[in-house]
Amino acid sequence: MSPTSWLFQVRNLTNNFISFVFPPVCASCPKTGSLLCADCQAKIPWVVEPICPACGRILQRPTALCAVCRREPLPLKQIRTAVIFDGIIPDIIHKMKYNGAFALAKPLADMMVEAWPIWQCPVDLVMPVPLHAQRQKKRGYNQSELIVNHFCQCTGLAHDAHSLQRTRFTPPQVGLDAAARKTNVQGAFSVQAQAVGDKDILLVDDVCTTGATLAAAAEVLLAAGAKSVSAYCVARAI
């Protein structure tokens, strides 16, 4: 159990009580009644083919591998994302991460659940990309862990939010170019090998930009004996 989970439980209870007294407001407009109203759901920018079969980048036309993956192959079997980081999505993710609106993990995870039949791959264990303990303490929760909890509840997949840890504090990736992102997250993760040995692991994060964070975590998981590592994120930055 993570040191912040009791705090999350209290917040969750409080949140359930608040939804009872005040019905939820849409994450993207002033309508009440649900966390994402039907009109806003119709505006979800879904990822559609063609995409790179490895990194999942959105492409103009179908190809074997995108130019980036040809130059530098990913350690991951595949990266997939449910939606494009565009339209109504950036604001919802920002509210979930920085405005304490952790309940918005649910509609975001619902998008992943809906698109999973299109992008699914064999999975033994789902793991959220961990935050450094210091950052998680400050935020009060790891948004990717909340997404994993709901995603796994809906898909029935097994999950583990504790065996993969972020052992080095890294500055945010925002504003860094691809090379700097890679250096920034190198050696940032550690894993308990017995949890992942011979398993097909699915890493989950909120946003995928260059895939550098996922790649750094995947290298550690593979070195610890994971059979394969894939990733599935809510949104793809373009």
Residues lying near Zn ion in the complex (CB under 5 A): 26, 28-29, 31, 37, 40, 52, 54-55, 57, 66, 69
| Of residues 37 and 202, the one with the C-beta less far from Zn ion | 37
State the minimum distance, in angstroms, from the CB of residue 196 to Zn ion.
24
Number of alpha helices (DSSP H) and beta strands (DSSP E) in the chain: 10, 6
How far is Cα 83 from Cα 236, in angstroms, rounded to an integer? 6
Smallest gap, in angstroms, from Cβ of residue 29 to Zn ion?
Answer: 3
Report the nearest approach of Zn ion to the CB of residue 38 (Å): 8
Of 164, 192, 207, 199, the residue nearest 47 (C-alpha): 207
Could you give the 3-state DSSP secondary structure of residue 126?
strand
Determine the 3-state secondary structure of 200 from DSSP.
Answer: strand
Nearest Cα to Cα of residue 181 among 154, 208, 218, 163: 208
How far apart CA 18 and CA 130 sit, in angstroms, is 29
Q: For residues 25 and 193, which CB has a smaller minimum distance to Zn ion in the complex?
A: 25
d(C-alpha 105, C-alpha 92), whole Å: 9
Output 10 or 238, the one with its CB closest to Zn ion.
Answer: 238
In the complex with Zn ion, the residue whose CB is nearer, 96 or 196, is: 96
Minimum separation from the CB atom of position 34 to Zn ion (A): 8
Q: Token pair of 140, please?
A: 């009060």
Q: How far is the CB of 202 from Zn ion (least distance, A)?
A: 18
Residue nearer to Zn ion on the CB measure, 118 or 158: 118
